[in-house]
Structure 1
Amino acid sequence: MKNTFRRLPLAVAISLALPALASADDAILDSVVVTAPVTQAPLTVTTDPKAPRQPLPAHDGADMLKSIPGFSVIRKGGADGDPVFRGMSGSRLNILQDGQDVHGGCGGRMDPPTAYIYPESYDRVTVLKGPQTVLYGGGNSAAVVLFERDMTRLTEPGWSASGSLTFGSWGRNDQVFDAKAGNPGVYARIGATRSDMDNYEDGDGKEVHSFYTRWSATGALGWTPDDDTLLELNFGRSDGEAAYADRSMDGVKFEREHVGVKFEKRNISPLVQRIEANVYYSYIDHVMDNYSLRTVSGMKMVNNPDRETKGARLAVTLTPAERWMFTLGADIKDDLHTVRKAKGAATDAYTNLNRDKDLGFERYGVFGEATYGLSATQRIVAGLRLDEHEAKDYRTSIEVGMNVRPNVFADASRDERLESGFLRFEEDYAAGQGTWYAGIGYAERFPDFWEFMRATPTTLGTGSVADARDFGNLKPETNAQIDVGANWAAGSLNASVAGFYSKVDDYMLLRWWQVGTTSVADVRNIDATLYGAEADLTWRFAPNWSATGTLAWVHGKNDTDGKALAQQPPLEARVALEYNDGTFSYGGLLRVVARQDRVDVGSGSIVSNGKDLGPTPGFATLALNAGWRPNKATLLTVGVDNVFDRTYHEHLSQGSAAIAGYEAVNNEIINEPGRTFWLKAQVALD
C-alpha cells in the first residue's frame, strides 16, 4: 500500500503544455487561471483543458468538468468520479473522445467514460446542454461533452514539444508530454500523460483510501495535401490502478486500447461545404479485486470484465441556399461486454479462465440538423434523429451475493426504434452584443448496460423478489424539455442565463439494498419532473481587474411516488476575483453550496450503491491563486484550495465502506480533501 508522500503538505505541478502550433506566435500562453468557464453561445460552454484552474489541476475528465457550472461529481475515492449534469448521470450524459464513444467496463461504475480521459492531452472541451443537438448519438437527455484535439495544417516545416512533471499534496505527481512535427503535407503527433497521488486526508486529518496511478500514450499520423483536406490515423493506450473508499474492491487494471481513422474535406462546392467521416475501435480490459491494494478481508475475489466497442460516423454539411445549412449523416455502434471472475485460490490463475459474454448492444442511427436564417438577426435551428437499438442478454446465470441462479432471460433480445429531435429559435439583439433563444427538445433513451444488468428480479436477503422489470419490459426513457436563455457581451460585461423545464416519462430509477457485503439493486420506470437554471456574469470593473459569479440550481421530483427525485445536487454559487496585468495575476474563488434535504433514501443512480443517504449540510470553501508570466511562452501559477481546511462532503458523493486500517464508517459520505497547496508552470516551446 502506498504511503511515501501521504502527508506531503505542498502540491507542486510543473507542466510544459503546448497547443498544436505552426509558428512562434501560436505559442503565447494567454490564460492564467480558469475558475469557472462561462457560456458564450446558446447552450454551449467551451473551455481550454490545458489552462491552469482551481481546484488543483484535473487528472481525469470528471475532475475537469466539475469546474463548469451545472456539473457535479460523485466521489468514490481519489480518482474516477462519476460526472452529473443538471441532476442527470450515466448514459443521459454522452461523453465523446475525439469523436469516439467511450464506455466503461465495470458493472459498478468504477470506470465511467471520463476515467479514460486525460484532460491536458486535449485542446478543447465543449459542453452542449440539453437535448438540443442530434449530431452525436441518441438519448442525450442531459448534455453532450466533446473532448477534442485540434489539427491546423502547418504552413511550413516545423515541430513542437511539451512535457510535464507533478509533485503534489499527498504524493501528487503528474507528467504531461506532447510532441508534433511535420510540414504542410504530413504530420505526426505523440503524447503521454501520467498522474499519481497517494491517499489524501480530509479537513480533520482522517486518511481516505484514495490513491491512484494512471497513464496514457497517444499518437497520430496525418495527411494534409491542402488547407481543406485531412486524413488522420490516431491510436492510443492507457492503464492504471485506483483505490476506492466506497466499496469492497479496488481497480487494479484500467487498460484501454483504441485506434481510429478520420477524414475531413471542406469547401468541396457551393452546395457541399464539408464531408467528415470516422471509424474507430476501442477495447477496455478492467480488473478489480479485494487484495492487491488493501488488506484482504475474507475470501480473495477478482472480477475481470472487458468491453469492445466498434463504431463509425459519416456526416455531410450542405448549403443549398444562402439562408439554409443542413448536416445529414448516419452512425453505427457495436458494443459487447464480457466478464470472468474467480474466488479463493482460483484468483491466482483467473487469466486462464474463459470469458463469458453477458450483454451486447448494437445501434444504427440517421440524423439531420438544419439552420435557417429568417433574417440577419434571427434563425431557426432544428434536428431529427432515428435510432435502431438492439440488446441481447447472453447470461445463463445471475449471481447475487454468494448465490447463483439461472437467468430466465438467457438469450433474450430486445429491439427498439427510438426518436430524438429539437426545434430552437435564436435572435441576436443589441446590435449583435447578445443572443436570446428558446427551444424544445425531445429524446428517447435506450436502457444502458448498467440498467439492463439490474432489470431482472434479484433475490434479496429476506428471500423476497425485488420489484423489478424484466429484460423485455424495462421501458425506454423519454425526455421532453424546454430550454430558454440569453447571452450578452458588451464592454466590461459578459453574462448568460439558461433555464430548463423537463418532463421525463419512464425515468429509470434504481433502488439499492445490501445483501451481506454485496450491493444489489433493481430498476423500475417512474415519471419525473426536473427544472433548474445556470447563470454567469463576468465584470471587468477596472483595468486589469475582473469578477466572475456563477449559479447552478436544479429541482427534481419523482411524480410517480410523490417524493424528491434521488441524487439531485444542491444550489451552488461561485464568486471569483482576479487581477491580471499581463505579467502578474492574483485571484480567489469562493464556492458556496446550500444544504440539500430533498432526498429519497435508498434510491439513486447506476453507480454501485449510489444512493441518497440522507440530508447533507451546506458548506463554503475558499481558494486562492497567483501567477507570473515572465515571457509570452511561460506561465507560473501557485494556489491553495480549501484555505481554511474545512471538513465537508458533496451531497452526491458515495458512502464509505469499512476498510481495514482506515477510520471510515459504513455509509458515511466520503469527505473531500483538506487544505491543498499547488504550483504549476507552463512553457510553450517550438
Structure 2
Amino acid sequence: MKTKISLAVASALAIPLQASAEHQELPTIVVEGTYERPGTFSTAPDSSGLKDTASLLERVPGANVNRNGPLTGIAAYRGMYGNRINISVDGSNMKEVGPNSMDPPLSHIPAALTGSLKVHRGIAPVSSGIDTIGGAMKVESRKGDFAEGDGIETNGVASMGFSSVEDGHYGVLLGSVANKNHKAYLSGSQEMGNDYRIKNNQEQAPTEYDRNAFTAGYGYQRDGHELGINYSNNDTGHTGTPSLPMDIIYVRGGLYDANYSWDMGNGSRLKTNVYYQKMRHLMDNFTLRKSIRPMSVMMDMQTRAEVEAGGIDLAYSFGLFDGELTIGANGDQSNHDATMDNITAGWQANFFNDVERDRYSAFAEWTGEIADKLELELGARYTHTWTNAGDITGPAAGVVNQFNSSERTRNFNDVDLTAIFRYAMSSRLDLEVGFARKNRAPTYQELYLALPSEATGGLADGKTYVGDLDLEHETAYQFELGVDWHTAKAYVSPRAFYHYVDDYIQGDATARAQQLRAMTGRADLLQFANIEAQLFGVDVEAGYEIDENWRLDGGLNYVRGMRINSPTGDDDLYRIAPLNGRTQLTYQHSDWMGSIEGVFVADQGDVAGYNDELKTKGYMLMNLRGQYKPYKGIVIGAGIENVLDTKHFDHLNGLDRINSTATDPVRVASQGRNVYATLSYKW
C-alpha cells in the first residue's frame, strides 16, 4: 500500500493532477514534481494562496492549516497541530524564533521553491523523527539535478505570478550547473502583497506580506556516495498577523546543513545530516496597526526574539529476516530568548531568557513480510528531553521572584512504540491496521511562561496564559484502520482512527490561574495544564477516471476532539476543523488542462468552552483553474478562486484582533474572489 501523491509544484499553476490506479505498497503521501502516486485524490497548488508550503496540506487527507496570517500557516493533522507534529525542513528540525509561532517550519520555504512535501498518512513511523504524536511531515527544497550523461548540464525554473485579491506578485528563479559527479545551484524568490480583500472589496487588515528567500548549495556523488552542503536564508519583512497581538516587522536568518549518504550495496544504506540555525525576529503592535487598531489600545509594544539551534541525525539500514532493519540516533539543541518593551509605559520584560531545550533519541524500526501478502512494521524509539531557563525580569515583581527562585530544570524520558500490519487481500484491495504509543514533552512556552502573556505558540484564542513547571509529558495510544481499493479506473481509500491522550496539554482555569487573575486583574487568564483527551474520526480519498480526458476526484475529512471527564462539562478541544471535503472535475487534452473544484465546510458547533472558542457557519466555494503549455517547458496558468465571492470564516483562522471587542469577538475572514495568472519556464 505504497501511497504516493505528486503535484506539479514547479510553477504555481494550480491545475489538478491524478494518476492511474495501480497496486503499490507503503502508506506515504508525497507532494512533489511529477505525479507518481496511484489511487489518490489531490490538486496542484494554487498560485496566489500558496505563500507558504503549509497551504499544500489542504490537499492531503486528514491535514489542514491553522492560519494566523498570510505567511503563518501552522500544520494541523487530525486535530493536532504545532509542536505535536514533527516537521523536517531539508533534513533539519527547524525551531521557531517567534514564541508565538509567527515563523512555523513550513513557512521557511516558499511554495514555488518546494521540491517535495511528504506526509505520513496515519501513524507516523518512529524513523520519521522525535515527537511524532501528531504525525510527521518532510519538506525538501529544490536543489537542481546531477547530469545524466558525461557532459555538463544546466537546468532550472523561472516563475512569476499575480493575484488580484491582495494585488500580490511573486517571482522565483533557480538555476543549477552539474555533471554526473558535481552540481551547484542558486535560487532566489520575492513575494509581496497588500491587505487581502474579502466580499465587496472590504479589506482584512493587517494581512500584507513581504518575503525574500535565497538558497545556495553544492552536491557531490560517486560510486554510491552522495554529499550535499546547503544554505538557505529567509528575510521576511513587514507581514501582518491579525490573529496575534503583534505583527512581523522582520524574521531574518539562515539554515546551514550538510548531509551524506552511502549506498553500501546489498540493501545497506547509511544516512547522516547535520544542521545549524540562527535567526532573529522583531514584532510590534503599532507599525502596521497604528491607523486601524481600536482607540482603546493605547500601549505601543514590541518584542525581540532570537533562536540558535543545531542537530544531527544518523540512520543505518540493512537487510534482516526477509525485511529491512533501520537503526538510528537523533539529537538537537536550541536556545531561545525573547524580550518585550512597553514603549508607552517605559518598562521591559525579559520573559524568555536563555531557555535551553535538548533532545537525545535513538530508534530501531523493522519492516518485512511475515507471511504471504502480510507485511509488518515494528518500531521503538527512546527520547530524553532536558530543558532549563534562566532568570526573567518584568513588572510583576512577585511573579518574577517566585519564578526565579524555583527549580526550572526538567527531564522527560519517553518511549514510542509502533506496530502496523498491512495485508494485500487481493490485487485490488489492501488492508492496514496500526497500533502505537506516542509521546511529546512540553514546549518551553508551556513550561516557562511565568508572566501572563499571549506568547503561546500560535494558539490565537485571545486569552492570556501562564506556564506550569510541573507539567507531565503527553502520552497517546493510537489505533488506525484503513482500506485501499483500486482498479485501473477508480480508487477509494478510507481511514478511521482513534487516539486516547493521557496528560494532553491545554489551558485551564487552575487554582494558580485564579490566583493570578486576582493579582493582575486579567479575568481571561488560563494556565497550561494536563487533562485527559480523545480524538477520533475518518478521512477518505476517492476518484474515478471517466475516460481518457475526464476524471473526477474527491476527499472527505472528519475529526472530533474531546476532553474526558471534564469537571465543568466542557468536553470539546480547541481548534478542531469541522467536517469538510473537496470534489474536482478535471479535463485534460493535449497541452490543455482545466478543472472545476468545489469545497464544502460544515458548521462547527463543537467548540472549546475553556477559552470561549467561537462557533463557525458552514460554507461552499467554487474554484476554476486552467493551464496551457504552448512550448516545451513553458506553462501559462490562470484561474478564479472563490468564484462567487463568498464571505466565509475558516474555523482554523484565529481571532481578528483589530475588529474584535470584549463583548463581540470576530474570527479573521478568509479571502474573497481572487483572479490570478502565472507564467513559468523550466529547462
2:479 pairs, out of 475, 478, 482, with 482
Partner deviation per Cα, 1:247-281 (whole Å, 9 max, x = no partner): 33211111121101100111x143x6100001000
The equivalent residue for 1:220 is 217
Answer yes or no: is 1:198 the counterpart of 2:191: no
Change in Cα spacing, 1:682 to 1:452, as seen in structure 2 (3 Å) is same
Distance 1:418 1:579, change over 3 A: same
Q: 1:298, CA displacement in angstroms?
A: 2.6
The equivalent of 1:609 in structure 2 is none
Alpha-carbon contact 1:399-1:405 (below 8 Å) kept = no
Contact 2:477/2:501 (CA < 8 Å) preserved in 1? yes
Q: Contact 2:299 / 2:344 at 8 angstroms: preserved in 1?
A: no
CA distance in 2, matches of 1:179, 1:584: 27
1:654 aligns with 654
Trace 1:148-163 onto structure 2 (pairs within 5 A).
148-149=140-141, 153-156=146-149, 157-163=152-158
Question: 2:468·2:529 contact (CA, 8 Å) conserved in 1?
Answer: no
Give 2:534's match in structure 1, choosing from 529, 532, 551. Answer: 529
> Which one of the candidate residues 170, 187, 201 is aligned to 1:174?
170
Which position in structure 2 is the counterpart of 1:6?
none
Q: In the superposition, relative to structure 1, how do residues 453 and 111 fare at CA in structure 2: closer, same or farther (>3 Å)? A: farther
**Residues 119-518 of structure 1: pairs in structure 2 closer than 5 A:** 119-149=111-141, 153-156=146-149, 157-169=152-164, 170-209=166-205, 210-226=207-223, 228-241=224-237, 242-266=239-263, 268-270=264-266, 273-295=268-290, 298-321=298-321, 323-344=322-343, 357-397=353-393, 406-408=402-404, 410=406, 412-431=408-427, 433-454=428-449, 456=450, 470-471=468-469, 473-511=470-508
Against the structure 1 CA distance between its residues 354 and 642, is the aligned structure 2 distance closer, same or farther, given a 3 Å change threshold? closer
1:450 shift after superposition: 2.5
1:540 aligns with 2:537: no
SS at match of 1:101: coil
Aligned to 1:601: 609
**Structure 2 Cα separation of the partners of residues 681 and 38 of structure 1:** 28
Look up the match of 2:66. 74
Relative to 1, partners in 2 of residues 1:522 and 1:398: Cα closer, same or farther, differing over 3 Å?
A: farther
Q: What's the offset of the Cα at 1:632? A: 3.9
Structure-1 separation of matches of 2:504 and 2:661: 37
Name the Cα RMSD after superposition: 3.3
**Cα distance, 1:397 vs. partner?**
4.0
Structure 1 residue 564 corresponds to structure 2 residue 572: yes
Q: Of residues 587, 593, 599 in structure 2, which corresponds to 1:585?
A: 593
In the alignment, structure 2 segments of 5+ residues that lack a partner are 1-7, 35-42, 292-296, 455-463
In structure 2, the partner of 1:633 is 633
SS of equivalent to 2:446: helix
Partner of 1:669: 667
CA distance in 2, matches of 1:30, 1:165: 8
Change (3 A) 1:213 1:476: same
Distance 1:277 1:248 in 2: 40
Give the superposition deviation at 1:36.
Answer: 9.2
Q: Residue 554 and residue 488 in structure 1: after superposition, are their counterparts in 2 closer, same or farther (change >3 A)?
A: same
Q: Quick check: 489-498 or 641-650, which moved more?
A: 489-498
With over 3 angstroms needed to count, the CA separation of the structure-2 counterparts of 1:468 and 1:199, relative to structure 1, is closer
**What is the identity, as a one-letter code, of the residue corresponding to 1:654?**
G
Counterpart-to-counterpart distance in 2, 1:41 and 1:401: 60
The alpha-carbon deviation at position 666 of structure 1 amounts to 6.0
For residues 398 and 511 of structure 1, what CA distance do their matches in structure 2 show?
Answer: 24
Alpha-carbon distance, 1:376 to partner: 5.0
Indicate if the aligned counterparts of 2:572 and 2:609 stay in contact, CA closer than 8 A: no
Are the counterparts in 2 of residues 41 and 487 from structure 1 also a CA contact under 8 Å? no
Taking the aligned partners of 2:381 and 2:20, their CA distance within structure 1 comes to: 29
Structure 1 pair 314/375, CA: closer, same or farther in 2 (3 Å)? same
User: CA offset at residue 176 of structure 1?
Assistant: 1.1
Measure the CA separation in 2 of the matches of 1:450 and 1:474.
Answer: 11
Per-residue CA deviation, residues 424-472 of structure 1 (Å, 9 max, x unaligned), is 11122323x4422101011111011232234x58599xxxxx997731x
1:250/1:293 contact within 8 Å kept: yes
Please tell me whether the aligned partners of residues 401 and 517 of structure 1 are also in contact (alpha carbons under 8 angstroms): no
TM-score using structure 2 length: 0.86
Tell me, in whole angstroms, the C-alpha distance in 2 between the residues paired with 1:37 and 1:523: 45
Q: Quick check: 1:75–1:670 contact (8 Å CA) kept in 2?
A: no
**Contact 1:422/1:441 (<8 A) preserved:** yes
CA contact (8 A) 1:395 1:410 kept: no
- Deviations, residues 97-126 of structure 1 (Å, cap 9, x unaligned): 011001212222222222223222121111
Larger mean CA deviation between 356-365 and 399-408 belongs to: 399-408
How far has the Cα of 1:599 moved from its partner?
1.2
Judge conservation of contact 1:206–1:663 (CA < 8 Å) in 2: no
- Structure 2: which amino acid aligns with 1:680? T
- CA distance 1:572–1:52, change in 2 (3 Å): closer
Counterpart residue type for residue 188 of structure 1:
A
CA spacing shift, 1:548–1:409, aligned 2, 3 Å = farther
Cα deviation, 1:174-207, whole Å, max 9, x if unaligned, reads 1111111111121101111221111011124321
CA offset digits 1:236-255 (Å, max 9, x no partner): 11111311222332111111
| Distance 1:36-1:239 versus aligned 2 partners, 3 A rule | farther
CA positional deviation for 1:161: 2.5
Structure-1-length-normalised TM-score:
0.85
Which moved further from structure 2: 190-199 or 393-402?
393-402
Structure 1, unmatched stretches of 5+, are 1-16, 20-28, 461-465, 604-611
Residue 94 of structure 2 is matched in structure 1 by 102
In structure 2, give the amino acid aligned to 1:136. Answer: S
Is the CA contact (8 Å cut-off) linking 1:49 and 1:64 kept in structure 2?
no
Cα distance in 2, alignment partners of residues 502 and 430 from structure 1: 29
Q: 1:591: Cα distance to partner?
A: 0.6
Distance 2:664 2:69 in 1: 14
User: Structure 1 vs Structure 2: percent identity of aligned residues?
Assistant: 22
